[in-house]
């Protein structure tokens, strides 16, 4: 499971919504603050880049599915049809999940057909998708 940006932010809120018990002071509380700070930094990156990454990724997957439909069946053209009208994170994620399932099905068909050219194109897309969704970890202080 990959938590969504709202899930992370709600979790950060809940960490500080109630004061900690006295036995949670010291190192434990410092560690808790550090984790929340790191999650907040990663959430900020997701807020900045997440929507555009999802819109790009959905369009890229649609293009691959549509292009492959002639060779692998109209179901892929149907899966690749449409556009992102609702650009909320939750709507884009729902659409993305469906598109990814279709891309995986296409990739399985491509591998079974030993279609090396299309296989490599899909693998390059996977790499580009991972890069677009990357979150950069800051240098962390040592203890």
Q: Are 110 and 72 in contact (CB under 8 A)?
A: yes
Which domain does 41 fall in, by range?
A: 5-132
Asked if the structure places residue 12 within a domain, the reply is: yes
**Is the pTM for the entire model greater than 0.85?**
no
Helices 89-112 and 27-72, packing angle to 10 deg = 50
pLDDT at 17 over 70: yes
Asked if the structure places residue 139 within a domain, the reply is: no
Q: What is the pLDDT of residues 61-117, one digit of tens each?
A: 999 999 999 999 999 999 999 999 999 999 999 999 999 999 999 999 999 999 999
Asked if the structure places residue 19 within a domain, the reply is: yes
CA distance 23 to 63: 56
Identify the residue with better confidence: 113 or 8. Answer: 113
Asked if the structure places residue 31 within a domain, the reply is: yes
| pLDDT grade for 143, boundaries at 50, 70 and 90 | low
Structure letter (DSSP) for residue 24: G
Burial 29-39 (b: 16+ CB within 10 A, else e): eeeeeeebeeb
Our count of domains for the chain comes to 1
């Amino acid at each position: 499971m990959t938590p969504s940006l709202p899930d992370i932010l709600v979790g950060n809120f809940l960490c500080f919504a109630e004061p900690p018990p006295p036995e949670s002071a010291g190192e434990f509380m410092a560690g808790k603050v550090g984790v929340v700070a790191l999650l907040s930094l990663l959430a900020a990156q997701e807020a900045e880049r997440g929507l555009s990454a999802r819109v790009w990724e959905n369009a890229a997957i649609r293009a691959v599915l549509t292009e492959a439909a002639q060779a692998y069946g109209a179901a892929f053209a149907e899966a690749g049809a449409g556009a992102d009208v609702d650009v909320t994170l939750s709507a884009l994620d729902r659409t993305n999940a469906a598109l990814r399932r279709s891309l995986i099905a296409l990739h399985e068909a491509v591998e079974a057909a030993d279609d090396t050219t299309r296989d490599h194109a899909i693998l390059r897309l996977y790499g580009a998708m991972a890069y677009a969704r990357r979150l950069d970890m800051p240098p962390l202080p040592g203890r």
